[in-house]
Homo-oligomer: A and B are copies of this chain.
Amino acid sequence: MKVRVKLDIKNFIERGDFRTLKMILSQQEPADILEMIEELPPDEKIVVFRLLPKDQAAIVFSELEPDDQIALIELFKEEKLREIISSMSPDDRAELLEEMPANVVNKLLSYLTPEERRETLSLLNYPENSAGRLTTPKCVELYPDTVVKEALEKIRKEGKDKETIYLMPVIDRQRKLLGVVRLEDLIFSDPDALVEQVMDDQPIYVYATTDQEEVAQIMRKYDLFVVPVVDSEQRLVGIITIDDVVDVIDEEATEDIQKMSSIVTTEQPYFHTSVWQFSVNRLPWLVALLLLGTLSSGIIAKFEALLATLPIIAAFMPAMVDTGGNIGSQISALVIRGMALGEIEQKDWWRVILRELLIGAILAFILAITVLLRAIFVTRVTQIMLAVSTALFVVVVISNIIGASLPFIAKAMKIDPAIMAGPLLTTIVDLMGIWIYFTIANLMLSV
């Protein structure tokens, strides 16, 4: 393991000892440099970039957050910026351009060769979150009629500049994908064989327009390190490597968790999102849910007479709605996650509902007994205790079914099921719970 000294870069800069700093930096992994400079102010970050070799600089720069990137682009000397941008890999470059304001994009594009510009813009043509955006054209392409030893020679010559030589796409003269060949297949074969004899001619591939989440699922399912990407006419666009997909898997989980907490989603880390931006992301749902929630005041107002006579009824209201909300949150989280992992499909809805009717009844029974025992400490009126306990039973069973159904309904309506969790679900279930509670209390206590 490389010795990971936590370098005090600030100290080197203040002492002006750039030579030692340069030497040390050149031996570090880009990911470690990123961590070291993360909290430096932009003008000290600049110093570090000046000392980094261009390939390292390009990788570190591409992994900074967009706000840091913008700040640095303004501070870099033109020469340095040109060097970094042209050393970046095409997919990282496309990602950078996507995040930058238009004037910066134009400036950056002007630094590229026509070939690099074409490459970058073609990736940007693919929709956001599509496979095309994760694709790098930097792979060694082979032809089926090449001899294995010549293929190895080609890899030896071109390989250094490429993203990976673990897997090579095999194409015809029209760039149509015919197969893939792994480096080890070439090494283990007769040097005089043809590539087409050793290639896998039924490779798994994805389309450039495939959603990145699906790419992640395919690579996970087939345990792939690298997958080739083609356009709608089966022509090779490039390859996707698993390291980019690992980031996607994390992003998607974050997105699900945010949606499940009713937050407008963002990919930026917490500290790189402004206070204002966060308020704006959180507000729409909060206001909508508050307005939805206040509908309950209308329901409760109808039972004002009951409340005035038996204010104790209000005392069990929070526990009642909380329990309904908890039940609903649990089951919706289970169903949503099951859907995200492909374990639960739309056609399974009736199996889920049937199971949850049973599970709901078991849970409801035990919880109703619990609240009955607990109510003894608050009231001695048997009828109130029974009303609370009956209402809880009904609320639990129904909340469980609502929580299990909403993700399916969302999916059928082509809405992301993750929306149907947490706060939104709780609010819906609460409204229903309050109505059930007061109706049952009103009936059983017949005032």
Task: Give A contacts to B, CB under 8 Å.
Answer: 1-3, 27, 29, 31, 152, 155-156, 159-160, 165-166, 183-184, 187-188, 202-205, 219-225, 242-243, 245-247, 249-250, 253-254, 256-258, 260-263, 269-271, 275-276, 278-279, 282-283, 285-287, 289-291, 293-294, 296-298, 300-301, 304, 307-308, 311-312, 314-319, 321-323, 325-327, 329-330, 332-338, 341, 343-344, 348, 351-352, 355, 358-359, 362-363, 366-367, 370-371, 374, 378, 421-423, 426-427, 430-431, 434
Q: Tell me, in angstroms, the Cα distance from A345 to B374 when the chains sit together.
A: 40
Q: Is the CB of A326 within 8 A of B286?
A: yes
Residues of B within 8 A of A333 (CB): 257-258, 260-261, 263, 422
Number of copies: 2
User: Is the CB–CB distance between A343 and B269 below 8 Å?
Assistant: yes
Name the distance in Å between A48's Cβ and chain B's nearest Cβ: 18
Chain B residue nearest to A295 (CB atoms) is B319
Q: Contact: A286 with B363, CB < 8 Å?
A: yes
B187 & A156 in contact (Cβ 8 Å cutoff): yes
Q: CB distance B254 to A225 under 8 Å?
A: no
A366 to chain B, nearest CB (A): 6
Given the known interface contacts A242-B242, A246-B242, A262-B326, the answer about A254 and B341 at a Cβ–Cβ threshold of 8 Å is yes
Cα distance, A258 to B243, chains bound together (Å): 26
Q: Please report the C-alpha to C-alpha distance between residue A185 and residue B199 in the assembled complex, in whole angstroms.
A: 22
Supply 11 further A-B pairs (C-beta < 8 A) apart from A270-B338, A301-B378, A311-B311.
A1-B203, A166-B225, A260-B260, A270-B335, A270-B352, A283-B366, A286-B327, A291-B370, A297-B316, A307-B307, A322-B426
Is the Cβ of B260 less than 8 Å from the Cβ of A257? Answer: yes
Q: Are the C-beta atoms of A286 and B367 separated by less than 8 Å? A: yes
Is B337's CB under 8 angstroms from A427's CB?
no
Q: How near does chain B come to A15, taking the closest CB pair, in angstroms? A: 26
Q: Which residue of B lies closest to A285 (CB)?
A: B326
Q: Contacts A159-B188, A334-B258 known; A269 to B323 CB distance under 8 Å?
A: no
- Out of B1, B307, B343, which one reaches A205, CB within 8 Å? B1
Q: Pull 23 A–B residue pairs with CB atoms less than 8 Å apart, ordered by A.
A: A1-B203, A29-B222, A31-B221, A31-B223, A224-B243, A242-B242, A249-B253, A253-B256, A256-B257, A260-B260, A260-B333, A271-B343, A275-B355, A285-B326, A285-B330, A286-B323, A286-B327, A286-B363, A293-B319, A293-B323, A304-B312, A307-B307, A322-B423
B330 near A261 (CB under 8 angstroms)? yes
By a CB distance below 8 angstroms, the chain B residues around A1 are 202-205
Tell me, in angstroms, the Cα distance from A15 to B224 when the chains sit together.
35
Q: Pick the contact of A220 from B246, B314, B316, B370 — CB < 8 Å?
A: B246
Q: Could you tell me if B300 and A315 are in contact, using CB atoms closer than 8 angstroms?
A: yes
Pair B225/A283 contact, Cβ less than 8 Å: no
**How far, in angstroms, from A31 to B294 measured CA to CA in the complex?**
50
Contact present for B250 and A341 (CB under 8 Å)? yes
Q: Are B257 and A243 in touch, CB under 8 angstroms?
A: no
Alpha-carbon gap, A330 to B301, bound state (A) = 29
With both chains docked as a complex, state the minimum distance between the C-beta of A348 and any C-beta of chain B, in angstroms: 7
Residues of B within 8 A of A249 (CB): 246, 249-250, 253
